[in-house]
Amino acid sequence: MAIPITTTGLPQPAEGISGTRRRSTPHRITKAIRTNRKATIGVFLMAVFIFVALFPGLLAHQDPNAITNHVFAHPSAAHWLGTDNLGRDVYAQVIDGTRNVLILALAVGLLTTVVAMLIGVAAAYLGGVWDSVLNFVTDVLLVIPIFPLLIIIAAYLPNAGNNVLILVLAFTGWSYTARQLRSQAQSLRNRDYLLAARVRGERPRYIIVVEILPVMTSLLLASFLNNALYAVLAGSGLQFIGIGNGNNVSWGTTLYWAQQNNALGSGLYVWAIVPGACIALMGAAFAFINYAFDEIGNPALRPLTAAKARKAAQSSTKRRLGSYGARAR
């Protein structure tokens, strides 16, 4: 349940419609990644994780589930990160777990955003009683503490696998995104081009899919990234407290075994350090990409360069002009 840090939720002017010069989208994206340092870090980290998830066999040659007599081993040439209580190689578990965490993040991010989109856009577009009912459900889900609810749901579903975890996270985590999407769809609702579509006699489904959704792309993308970050943290948190299937190779599960076997008290530090660092880095990848998108969409948030900052400090009037200048670019 990451604290929402984006400002994309505010109703924004439709992007791309009023834009004057438009370069091809791939070109704009690669330029943004190269010039924004946070985007560079985030994309780099994400690329590494995707590579590891796709080709775990290139990096680790041991079976992460192979139980041996060599238990609680300290890091060595044979076991780079040592072994756990069952003699399983921790390094192989970390490498192999990447795929599980990445699938969890991407699937929950996607599914949550889709559910939120359906509910938020439907509420804004249908209006009336539908809006009130959907809004109430959204508001309730927004204030009910989700994490304890997840723990309780999981308690009724012992040994739930990754897929159940994905479904539960997605169907409880959509409320914040739905709220944002609803307010954006509402501000779009009375635009002239939508009125025109309605006058033309287009069906609601056509209007929502063809006219409204494309405009919401940037917010949808931000929501996807935010929800993926949420999935990494909440999913790992649940695995860490031993909920779900303990045989599922995942970073949270590895940490669960480390905690259960008092890795910190018995000097097996890397067993606890590395999987957690991986969770933090994958979370950071999503968070950095998201924050960079936010800066690209809202130039006022961008860091000022040293020269601009000096100029801005000269006088308050110039500071005002400077920020206008930054926004006009």
Partner 1 sequence: MRFIIRRAGFFLLTLWAALSLNFFLPRIMPGNPINNIISKLHNVTQAQELAIERSLGINNKAGIWQQYLTYVSNTAQGKLGLSIGNGGEPVSELIKQALPWTLGLIGITTILAFIIGTAIGAIAAWRRGSRLDSALPPLFVFTTAIPFFWVGMMLILIFSSILGFLPSYGAYALGTTPSFSLAFIGQVLEYAILPALTLLITSIGGWVLTMRNTMVTTLTEDYVRMARAKGLPSSKIMVGYAARNAILPNLTGFAMSLGFVVSGAILVEYVFNYPGLGNMLLSAVNNVDYPLMQGLFLIITICVLIAILLSDIATAILDPRTRTGG
Backbone angles phi, psi at 243, to 5 degrees: -95, 140
Establish if 33 lies at the interface with partner 1 (CB under 8 A). Answer: no
Q: Which residues of 101-123 are buried (b: 16+ CB within 10 A; e: fewer)?
A: bbbbbbbbbbbbbebbbebbbbb
Does residue 328 belong to the site contacting partner 1 (CB under 8 A)? no
The minimum distance between CB 240 and partner 1, in angstroms, equals: 5
> Which of 115, 243, 249, 296 touches partner 1 by CB under 8 A?
243
**Spatial contact of 138 and 175, defined as CB atoms under 8 Å apart:** yes
Q: Describe the crossing of helices 217-240 and 146-156 by its angle, rounded to 10 degrees.
A: 60
Q: Which one, 107 or 232, has the nearer CB to partner 1?
A: 232
Rounded Cα distance between 129 and 123, Å, is 9
| Binding footprint of partner 1, residue count (CB under 8 A) | 70
Residues 180-239 within binding reach of partner 1 (CB under 8 A): 229, 232-234, 236-237
Residue pair 176/4 in contact (Cβ under 8 Å)? The answer is yes
Asked if 325 interacts with partner 1 (CB under 8 A), we say no
Other beta carbons within 10 angstroms of residue 137's beta carbon come to 14
Please report, as residue ranges, which positions from 54 to 93 form the binding site for partner 1 (by CB under 8 A): none
CB of 178 to partner 1, least distance (A): 13
Q: Is the Cβ of residue 49 or residue 286 nearer to partner 1 in the bound state?
A: 286
162 residue type, one letter: N
**Is residue 165 part of the contact set for partner 1 (CB under 8 A)?**
no
* CA-closest candidate to residue 1, choices 163, 218, 133, 147: 147
As measured in angstroms, the least distance from the Cβ of 255 to partner 1 is 7
Please list, in sequence order, all residues whose beta carbon lies within 8 angstroms of the beta carbon of residue 195, skipping any fewer than 6 positions away.
Answer: none
- Name the residue nearer to partner 1 (CB basis): 194 or 278: 278
Task: Give min distance, CB of 106 to partner 1, in A.
Answer: 16
Cα distance between the two ends of the chain: 35
Any idea which residue has 């004057």 for tokens?
20
Which residues, listed in sequence order, are joined to residue 89 by a DSSP beta bridge?
83
CB of 227 to partner 1, least distance (A): 13
Site for partner 1 in 288-317 (CB under 8 A): 288, 291, 300-301, 303-306, 308-309, 312-313, 316
**Do 71 and 190 contact (CB within 8 A), yes or no?**
no
CA-CA distance, 60 to 37, in Å (whole number)? 31
Q: Which of 25, 27, 128, 156 binds partner 1 (CB under 8 A)?
A: 156
DSSP 215: G
38 binds partner 1 (CB under 8 A): yes
Residues of span 110-139 touching partner 1 by CB under 8 A: 136, 139
Give the whole-angstrom CA distance, residue 211 versus residue 199. 14
For partner 1, the binding residues in 264-293 under the rule CB under 8 A are 264-265, 267, 269, 272-273, 276-277, 279-280, 283-284, 286-288, 291
Positions that interact with partner 1 (CB under 8 A): 1-5, 7, 37-38, 41, 136, 139-140, 142-149, 151-158, 176, 229, 232-234, 236-237, 240-243, 255, 259, 264-265, 267, 269, 272-273, 276-277, 279-280, 283-284, 286-288, 291, 300-301, 303-306, 308-309, 312-313, 316, 320, 323
